[in-house]
Amino acid sequence: MARSLSTPKESVLSDLPNIVPAAFEVPDFTRLVPSAPTHKPRILMLYGSLRERSYSRLLTFEAQHLLESFGAEVRIFHANGLPLPNDAPDDHPKVQELREAMLWSEGQVWTSPERHGAMSAVLKSQIDWIPLPGGAIRPTQGRTLALMQVSGGSQSFNALNQMRILGRWMRMVTIPNQSSVAKAWQEFDEAGRMKPSSYYDRVVDVMEELVKFTLINRSVAGYLTSRYSERKEEAVKLEERVSLKAI
C-alpha cells in the first residue's frame, strides 16, 4: 500500500522522541489547493467611531463599494448601542448580532481612527466581545483581515500596528497591505465620498488584495489552522477515553 505524503516515515519519528505520532502530519500540498468558489466572499466590516460625521465610517462605506464591485458580499456592523465588554450579558442583542456576523464572515476589515496614538476604544470594545475560543468554534481563527486607519493630522501607523498585533492574537490571516489616510477631513467631499488621491488608490489596492486572499484562504482555512499541539491534545483525550472503556 502506498504511503500518504502526509504520513511521516517511522525513521523520521524515531529522531523525534517527544512527538506524539498520532498527531504529527507532514504538510500535504493537495489539501492546500483552494476549491472553486460556490458563493461570494463574505466580508464583515468593523469601524471604530460613533461620531455623526465619522471618517472611519466614511472610509468603511467607500471600501464597501469597492468590495462589492470586486464581487464580495458585505456586512457592516454599527457599534451604536453595543455595551462595554462585561457590562452586559452575552445574550445582549448587539453582542449576539456581532458574534453572528463574525461567524458568518470569511474575511474582515477593521477601520479605526487614531486616538491618543492608539486604536479607538470603540473598535477595541467590539473585538473584546469576541472571545478567542467560543466553545468548539473560534469566531475569528483562519479568517482574512484587512486594516485601515484615519488620522486627523499627519500620516501615522500606530493604530494599524496595534490592530495587526490584535489580528495575529485573534489567529487571523492579516494581509500584508494596509491603508492609512492622513488629514482625513480633507479626503472626503460633502456627500461623504472619498476624493481621488493616492490614499484612495491604496484603499483600492487593499480591498482587491483582501478579496484575493479570501478566495484562496477560505476553503483551506481549516487545514491551515490545524495545529500539532491541538491534534496532540485531542489524541491524548481519545487515548484516555479508550483506556477507560478497557477497564
pLDDT at 61 over 60: yes
Cα 244 to Cα 6, 130, 237, 239, 247: the distances in Å are 30, 36, 11, 9, 5
Percent of the chain with pLDDT over 70: 89
What is the C-alpha to C-alpha distance for residues 140 and 160, in angstroms, rounded to an integer? 18
Nearest in space to 126 (alpha carbons), one of 174, 166, 164, 73: 166
For residues 31 and 4, the answer to whether their CB atoms sit within 8 Å is no
For residues 185 and 152, the answer to whether their CB atoms sit within 8 Å is yes
The helix/strand/coil state of 25 is coil
For residues 109 and 60, the answer to whether their CB atoms sit within 8 Å is yes
Burial (CB count within 10 angstroms: exposed 0-12, middle 13-18, buried 19+), residue 58: buried
Average pLDDT over the chain, rounded to whole?
A: 90
Q: Tell me the per-residue pLDDT of 69-122, one tens digit each, with 9 for 90 and over.
A: 999 999 999 999 999 999 999 999 999 999 999 999 999 999 999 999 999 999
What is the C-alpha to C-alpha distance for residues 220 and 215, in angstroms, rounded to an integer? 10
What is the C-alpha to C-alpha distance for residues 32 and 134, in angstroms, rounded to an integer? 26
pTM of the predicted protein model: 0.86
